[in-house]
A and B are shown apart, each in its own frame.
Chain A
Amino acid sequence: MGLNEVLIEAKALTKKFDDFVAVDQIDFKVYKGECVGFLGPNGAGKTTTVKMMYCFLPPTSGELKIKGFSVLTSSREVKAIVGVAPQEDNLDPDFSVIQNLTVHARYFDIPKAEAKKRADEQLKFFQLEEKACSPVTGLSTGMKRRLIFARALINKPLILLLDEPTTGLDPQARHLVWDEVRYLKKQQVTIILTTHYMDEAQILCDRILIIDKGKIIEEGTPTELIKKHIGREVLELDYDEKLVPQLKETFSGSRIEKLGDRLQIFTDKPHGVFDSFLAEYKPQNVSIRNANLEDVFLKLTGRGLREI
């Protein structure tokens, strides 16, 4: 299986647009068969990094190698083994659903009969068989995303780049995409996924890179990151000024934050501590939940948060 084979390696990778540094000296490695999530706020540099991986944007400096091939000097070799599902809809409206796959296959020099076979397989896999001969302009958003996904697989890529694959999808369509990602992981396809949805990253990714302002600010498995930055559980309740001193006392050593008109307490303390606090002070709209990646993300990227 070659589990430790490095498929993607970035060293001091940098991309500048005029004076704006979109990606700033980042280093990372992706191993064969991994699903790695690139998380970050809008404009953090996720898509720019992905675009450099499929040789669309040339790096300004540093190094980026895909299976040992430099994106600068061996772009053909790189693009032959990479499948790309971009963020925006760039399906070809001049063609039907199945032609979008067969025409795309032709760019990879896949013979006609083989292209037809693969296209049929993909349409079946993505539940688009009935739409095979329909124009793409009439497809729903979810179907378009699935067709983009199917198109990215037409060259049987070693590495699949999914740039926000579920943005704008309804829950059914999201789950369908997730199932497909899980299936591909079983097939040992290496996957790079960018997303704003933390639940998605937590469910699908083996490893997370959190990017902000062009830099990788944290890296690890979802569980590691949650444990390291947040703790086990989060107690949420309506903000009440009077409760703050008691909270600080009861949960000493835990982080307490105000998010909008809610308070969040990130803690490893046993449940008994919660219960006695709740029984004594009866705060409003209480919920206790497991700490998740979103907590990590908001803590690290700091948007809209104010510590008290």
Chain B
Amino acid sequence: MSQPNLRKSPAKFTIPKLSYRVWSVWRRNLDVFLKTIAVNFLPSLLEPILYLVAFGFGLGGFIQEINGQPYINFLAPALVAIAIMYGSFFECTYSSFVRMYFQKTFDAIATTPVSVEEVVAGELLWGATRSTINASIVLVVVVLFGLVTSPLFLFLPVFAFFGGLMFASMAMCFTSIAPHVDFFNYPSFLFLTPMLFLSGTFFPLTAMPQAVQAIAITVLPLTHIVNITRGAISGSVEPILGLNPEILLPISIIWLIAVTAFFFVLSINLMKKRLIA
């Protein structure tokens, strides 16, 4: 017998090779979304209205101005940021897991010229699209409530896509190691919920001790998303750790690009390892 040409571990870490075919996977998810658009649309529309009415008008009446703005104006950009976070995170945890594990959709697509990497990348791009859709709905509500004071808000749907891609990539890392669907309770409660409250969303981070501010800006991605949505909608950014916007905004942008790139590559590799034995 000839010497077998033993390959190194087939699951070695690589930069994924992607082609236009990722869009056929994205397109599949869009088609399904459009079939059920009524169910998808209404909750995303209703939720920000409730938040603005309850917290903005209701609770906001008892709260003093923040950075010279009414509380509702402080809150509105955070709702856009939260929509970016939830949109892709839930899509690429629960929904992707159902497609992968229960429906075997990834296996079926992998028998075609679309590669496993492209399937995962298509899912990530779709997650980012969900963030864009959800954030845009919230943005329309915010505009209709008259809470926009800067023309930069027009860039937010595009930003939502990239912010969504980051959360999608992080979510997909959890999906790659999830043994069952209930597993996602962990990231939901241990990762999303702390972010929901500690990223300068419902109250200024500057009200917290320096240590909490430092943690928020180092490890909580939502902090950076909020910085940018707030800058784009209200034209003001909270001086976290005493930094002014000229320094803070570039830090947020660089942080987001670096973290997105890292988790995008990592999640595809982890999923490939899970899907191909």
Contacts and interface: CB of A to CB of B under 8 A. Distances in A.
Nearest to A154: B112
Interface string B213-250: 00000000000000000000000000000000000000
Main secondary structure, interface of B, reads loop
B10 interface: yes
A60 B6 contact: yes
B111 A86 contact: yes
A95 B110 CA distance: 18
A25 B1 contact: yes
A155 B112 contact: yes
A107 B35 CA distance: 20
A60 B277 contact: no
A54 B112 CA distance: 9
Interface in B1-46: 1-2, 4-7, 10, 21, 24-25, 27-28, 31-32, 35
A140 B111 CA distance: 24
Interface string A61-85: 1100000000010011001101010
A104 interface: yes
Nearest to B118: A107
A86 B104 CA distance: 11
B108 A61 contact: no
Give the interface size class of chain A.
35 or more
A103 B107 CA distance: 14
Nearest to B116: A56
Contacts of B4: 12, 14, 25, 60-62
Contacts of A17: 277
Nearest to A48: B277
B114 A90 contact: no
A26 to B, nearest CB: 12
A108 B113 CA distance: 6
A56 B115 contact: no
A93 interface: yes
Interface in B73-112: 103-105, 107-112
B144 interface: no
Contacts, number: 78
B80 to A, nearest CB: 29
B103 A54 contact: no
A229 B276 CA distance: 39
B104 A88 contact: yes
Interface in A1-54: 12, 14, 17, 25, 54
B115 A76 contact: yes
A112 B162 CA distance: 30
B277 A103 contact: no
A54 B111 contact: yes
A56 B108 contact: no
A92 B276 CA distance: 20
B115 A106 contact: no
A249 interface: no
Nearest to A148: B108
B217 to A, nearest CB: 40
Interface in A245-266: none
B28 A103 contact: yes
Nearest to A91: B108
A56 B35 contact: no
Given A62-B5, A79-B113, A89-B104, 16 more contacts: A12-B2, A12-B4, A14-B4, A17-B277, A54-B111, A57-B277, A60-B4, A61-B7, A75-B115, A90-B103, A94-B103, A104-B108, A106-B28, A107-B25, A108-B113, A155-B112
For the complex of A and B, 9 pairs with smallest distance between CB atoms: A61-B4, A90-B104, A107-B112, A84-B111, A90-B108, A94-B32, A76-B113, A58-B10, A107-B114
27 contacts: A12-B1, A12-B4, A56-B107, A57-B276, A60-B6, A60-B7, A61-B7, A62-B4, A62-B5, A72-B7, A75-B115, A79-B113, A86-B107, A86-B108, A89-B104, A90-B103, A90-B104, A90-B105, A90-B108, A91-B108, A92-B28, A94-B103, A99-B31, A104-B108, A104-B112, A106-B28, A107-B21
